[in-house]
Amino acid sequence: MNLALNLVAVRTIIRKEMVRVLRIWVQTIVPPAITMTLYFIIFGNLIGRRIGEMGGFDYMQYIAPGLIMMSVITNSYGNVVSSFFGAKFGRHVEEMLVAPMSYATIIIGHVAGGVLRGLLVGLLVTIIALFFTDLQVAHPFIMISIVLLSSIVFSLAGFINAVFAKKFDDISIVPTFVLTPLTYLGGVFYSISMLPEFWQNVSKANPILYMVNAFRYGILGTSDISIGHAYAILLVFVIVLFTGCMVLMQRGIGIRE
Amino acid sequence: MHALTIKNLTKTYANGNQALKGIDLTVEAGDFYALLGPNGAGKTTAIGIISSLVNKSGGEVAIFGHNLDKELEDAKSCLGIVPQEINLNLWETVGNTMINQAGYYGLSGKLRKERVEKYLRALRLWDRREHIARSLSGGMKRRLMIARALVHEPRLLILDEPTAGVDIEIRRSMWDFLQEINEAGTTIILTTHYLEEAESLCRHIAIIDEGTIIEDAPMSTVLRKLQREVFVLSLDEKLAQAPALAGFKTRLRNDMDLEVEKGPDTNLNDLFAQLNAQGIRVVSLRNKANRLEEMFMHLVENKGAEA
């Protein structure tokens, strides 16, 4: 493999992705900012004042990390699935497939694009959150590493969705019927310690719970789960999903006749 | 040195359609090669496999000695593809389309800028570099696809019907451009339904039909096989009936145009000598149909039997 060629190619894909995100900023940046502002106003401010404290923090403070993580996850996933499926649908994915870069480069470039959009939106939501509450970062390394790993996981998942998708409906099924329910049930708005033991155990099967709680631990220093488990789960997902992406590309499933 | 070597290439699609039935092809470096065939013959499938966009069922493909199964990235580096269908990102600017493609081939910095400018100017698109591809005319999109395929200066360029839907002026300027880059050393494989395009540009021809190569020879050899040619002669005076000419079949299209069918054992000198002897003066002469077109139809109808 020609390393220099692949480094240029991955930079090119990332640049292409960023140009796309910024070109359609009304679709990529503005909606999550508005949605999260509404969450902060309605759940954090209006309803949160009646709820009081959760886990030793104001309700607004408690939900802020989860909302930031939720926006990172959905935007990382959404960026890769829409960009790669769009390239397949318009057939300009062939520009990349005929080029001598490796399949890993194509995957890494798109995942990096997803991560950058996720982080950009996450940063924007964090700034919005600071208008409503005070956030101190308890464990910066954990916060940054968890948000990065989570973003990578959902970018890879978005890539797989895009590979299998045959029509535009197929790229909205997973976010609507899988991602959103798992995120809402992943401890964004509540601590699972409030749930009966059975539902606590059910919740622990939800990988997003670990991401949200580990990220919350990075900011607030409080979590319902073990941080070690969160890292282990994230690393396993990264390895499994990246391997899955590579297999799909090498076999040409969904991209070659 | 072979630019392209194909051995026993087969492709059967999931629906059972056997698009390629074991084709063999060799394209010499520097050649201008026509790959012709009727719709559904297997041309685009073969090009898809060469460009690694279609998985083959069997056989081997090598580009400048790089086997696609063993040295895929090296093989891809040598290849530029202009597909039949528009596959541009229509929302991307012309400039970014070129910059991205150059980047996918590892070009960066000054070299990338130079190449982008060189080929956008060569294909007369430089003034459109800030426009999105969607805003270009059909001919401009085709030219952009050619510029994109050339930005890494491939040794082998494959064009799958590059002039489809392009007006004659642009088509002829594209022919000139393709001849220039071929003379500069780029091997070109062309598929086209405009057979006069193949006849005027290409030095070698392969005809594929129903997944099988039915002809593969230098253009001059193929054309020499043509058993009959029909010429249309415009006369300077009206004729009441077609003249009898030994060795030729004649028919009046109208009182000023005479059709003459020439066999393999006669020549045009005989024809004009006989016309002269009868006092018939010819103003102009043209082929009734393109020679390659006649040959193509004959071969496809007879599946490779000697013409």
State how far the alpha carbon of B131 is from the alpha carbons of B101, B104, B126, B135, B165, in Å: 17, 21, 10, 7, 21
Indicate the fold that domain B229-302 takes in CATH.
Answer: Alpha-Beta Plaits (3.30.70)
Write out chain B residues lying below 8 Å of A98, CB-based: 51-53, 76, 79, 81
Closest CA relative to residue A82, chosen from A175, A12, A151, A178: A175
pLDDT in tens, B168-193: 888 888 889 999 999 999 999 999 88
Chain A residues inside the 8 Å CB shell of B45 = 257
- A-chain residues near B85 (CB < 8 A): 91
pLDDT (tens place) for every residue of chain B, 307 residues total: 899 999 999 999 989 999 999 999 999 999 999 999 888 889 999 999 999 999 999 999 999 999 999 999 999 999 999 998 999 999 999 999 999 999 999 999 999 999 999 999 999 999 999 999 999 998 899 999 999 999 999 999 999 988 877 788 888 888 899 999 999 999 999 998 877 888 889 999 999 999 999 989 898 887 777 667 888 999 998 988 899 999 899 999 888 999 998 887 888 999 999 999 999 999 999 887 767 777 777 777 766 444 4
User: Residues B233-283: pLDDT tens digits?
Assistant: 999 989 888 999 998 999 998 889 999 988 878 889 999 999 999 999 999
Would the CB atoms of A9 and B104 count as touching at under 8 Å? yes
As a whole-number percent, the residues of chain A with pLDDT over 90 amount to 72
Mean pLDDT of A51-70: 89
Is A229's Cβ below 8 Å from some Cβ in B?
Answer: no
CB contact under 8 A, A87 and B89: yes
Say what the ipTM of the complex is.
Answer: 0.90
B90 close contact with A: CB closer than 8 A: yes
Domain boundaries, chain B: 2-223, 229-302
Domain B2-223 is found in CATH 3.40.50.300: yes
Chain A residues 128-147 within an 8 A CB cutoff of chain B: none
